[in-house]
Structure 1
Amino acid sequence: MKKYIEPIIHILVWGIGYFLILNYTSTIGDFRKDRGPYWVALLFGMLMNQVVFYTTAFFLVPKFLRLKKIKALIFSLLGGFIFINLFESIVDYSYLTNFFSSASESFVVYLLYNSVIGFFTLLVALSYSLIKYWIQNEKLKRVLLEEKLSTEMAFLKSKINPHFLFNVLNSFYAKSLKHNVPELADGIAKLAELMRYMVYETNEDKVALEKEIHHLKNFIQVYQLRIAEDDKVFINFNIEGDIKSVKISPMLLIPFVENAIKHGIDPKTKSIIDISLKAEAKNLYFKVTNTIHQGAYGLTDEPSGFGLDNLKKRLSILYPNRYTLETKEEKGYFISLLILKLE
């Protein structure tokens, strides 16, 4: 029911506005009813004001504010305001003057009148859109905060001190070196790095892309410890572009790799995972391709998995209108492509 409240309010406001103005103008006597429908001029003017209001409030302001292009927003509003007022004044002056009983007014009078009404409409539209934008942002912040708190609570409920876990892993690392098992020692060290990154590094809104890549590599290396030497499993990671100056939200890329490993590896058959990351012209391209095996394919909406819906929800909060996410199956492979517009 809540989603219908806003449209109903809009219909009521415009409807009441039409009714009041029509009743007011009908008492002025400036219209000749015998020469046509005197309300046509008013109807056309109100229609133009609706174009100004809804174009401003529902398209221009949300689009350019999210992209943080204030100058482009100002120029768009100014250009649209001038165009609409000129168009409305030309129509009034050329075609609608015959609805008035008095002598035809000059074009400047029409332009001035329409500009005043249009400017008032523009101010109302700006106020409405800015308030709505602020409310939506506050809601998104609350959602993100609630998700962060729920994650922290889940960790606290485990009743395991992370320092205790790190100490245990350090003990295992020392024992594996003592017994000359370097592969196990390396795996334990990578696992400790994974945990340290998830516990301490992800508290920031943005982390260096290099750290996120290092985390991905550690995750892959830890998983590869489970793969036997004779298993035909191949995981490739290719990086291009300047990644040193790039920052992104933490733990944003790992779901794609987890998904590829979960659904793309079968030790009994040849399995391939290709991961490519490219930073170019304030855009980040992250592509993961994996062979398709048994079970559910690709990013699914499972309770135990990350899920495509959850991933889109997080992206919409962290990168509103600044991401593209594509998934598809092609010739026995599942392909995920994420494109981020970086600030």
Structure 2
Amino acid sequence: MIIQKSRSILGNILIQILIWIVLGVVLLFYQPFLRNIDVPYQFWVKQNIVFVMLIASYYLNAYVLVPQLLLKKKTGFYFLSIIAIIAVILFMTGFVDKILNVRELLEEAFHRSGPPKRGGGGGGRRGYFDTFLVTVTSLVLGISTSVTTTQSWQKNRALHKEMEQKKISSELSFLKAQINPHFFFNTLNNIYALTLVNVETSRTALHQLSRMMRYVLYDTQNSAALFSQEIAFIKDYISLMQLRLTDKVTVIFNTPAPLQEFPVAPMLFLPFVENAFKHGVSDSLPSTILVDVQQVDNKITLLVQNSIFKKQGADLEDNKGIGLNNTIRRLDLLYPGKHELVVNESAAENLYTVNLTLYL
């Protein structure tokens, strides 16, 4: 990781050096109108000084002005600073030009090579040069601003994505923590009681429980699981929950056949199924729980429907589950624009319905 980061930094430095060499040659040191005269060395000294000032203005803008002013919405101060930089470069260039006597030396070189071909003498060239220097300085500062703001946007986007991934991971860990102690210990007690009545059924239940534990603790470490694994997990969950139910509860579980494999987010269906058993079961009244999973090509639909008992509006917001808001958040992060979730509570029919559609 450190070596890769060092290589990336070194590569970035080499690219910037190459860009500056190209810009310096093209913009400052490639002067076709000086090709046929004996250019005084003072001119190249001045060009190097200008080049250094342009480099300094680039990094001053990139590492100070843009982060401290532009990105903090201090636009007025930022543009005043840009104007000040251009003015300083123009002033310093004129000062160096005067100290080194560059303009007069160039005039002498032009006259030695032949009569001047352009009217206006030095004044015309001076006006052109000043305009050219303003243009070059503005171009360099514009590139600096564009590169810095783009890098800042990419960095913020990567940071936001990393935070989203951490949130998804923490939510999944929270879900594991909720299902482990409550569900597994209750199921173990039921299996223990079952061993006194039906040994073969208790063995099957233990096998299902161990398979679920393996899936929760190990297989869900990755960001995605196979669709068949999710179906098998829900099937085992329903089967073990039925150990605690009476004959008054009817459970209907439908799965697609044949099943096409797709990677899906692990334990995404469980909160809805868990909610149905949590709020849709009565000790004395008949009830029905329907879990219907269908698949058409790359579209998966989950329909969970249960009767309503105890708590009206049976939502997922309690301290024993991941919560409806967290589940919706996971869907938004994992399947942005690729899912539809409809939750409906009908007091007239005494039914609570969840309809989830995923486009994989």
Structure 1 length-normalised TM:
0.54
State the AA in 1 paired with 2:322. F
C-alpha separation in 2, matches of 1:120 and 1:144: 36
Q: Check if 1:339 corresponds to 2:357.
A: yes
User: 1:213-228 alignment to 2 at 5 Å?
Assistant: 213-228=231-246
C-alpha separation in 2, matches of 1:192 and 1:13: 60
C-alpha separation in 2, matches of 1:119 and 1:321: 35
Distance change in 2, residues 1:125/1:326 (3 Å): farther
Q: Check if 1:324 corresponds to 2:340.
A: yes
Q: Check if 1:142 corresponds to 2:166.
A: yes
C-alpha separation in 2, matches of 1:264 and 1:296: 10
Pair member with larger Rg: 2
1:12 pairs with 73, 85, 90, which one? 73
- How far the C-alpha of 1:302 sits from its partner, in A, is 1.5
State the AA in 2 paired with 1:304. K
User: 1:80-99 alignment to 2 at 5 Å?
Assistant: none
Q: Check if 1:262 corresponds to 2:278.
A: yes
Distance change in 2, residues 1:216/1:17 (3 Å): same
Distance change in 2, residues 1:20/1:323 (3 Å): same
> Partner of 1:300 in structure 2?
316
The 8 Å contact of residues 284 and 339 in structure 1, kept in 2 or not, is answered as yes
Q: Check if 1:194 corresponds to 2:234.
A: no
C-alpha separation in 2, matches of 1:334 and 1:220: 18
Question: Where does structure 2 lack aligned partners over 5 or more consecutive residues?
Answer: 1-66, 85-141
State the AA in 2 paired with 1:192. S
The 8 Å contact of residues 208 and 244 in structure 1, kept in 2 or not, is answered as no
Percentage identity across aligned positions? 24
**Alignment partner of 1:275: what SS?**
strand
The 8 Å contact of residues 289 and 304 in structure 2, kept in 1 or not, is answered as yes
> Partner of 2:254 in structure 1?
238
Distance change in 2, residues 1:263/1:9 (3 Å): farther
- How far the C-alpha of 1:306 sits from its partner, in A, is 2.1
Structure 2 length-normalised TM:
0.52
> Partner of 1:252 in structure 2?
268
The 8 Å contact of residues 271 and 290 in structure 1, kept in 2 or not, is answered as yes
Number of residue-to-residue matches in the alignment: 234
Distance change in 2, residues 1:260/1:172 (3 Å): closer
> Partner of 2:15 in structure 1?
none
C-alpha separation in 2, matches of 1:149 and 1:240: 28
C-alpha separation in 2, matches of 1:14 and 1:172: 71
- How far the C-alpha of 1:225 sits from its partner, in A, is 1.5
> Partner of 2:101 in structure 1?
none
Question: Where does structure 1 lack aligned partners over 5 or more consecutive residues?
Answer: 1-5, 24-117
> Partner of 1:287 in structure 2?
303
State the AA in 2 paired with 1:130. Q
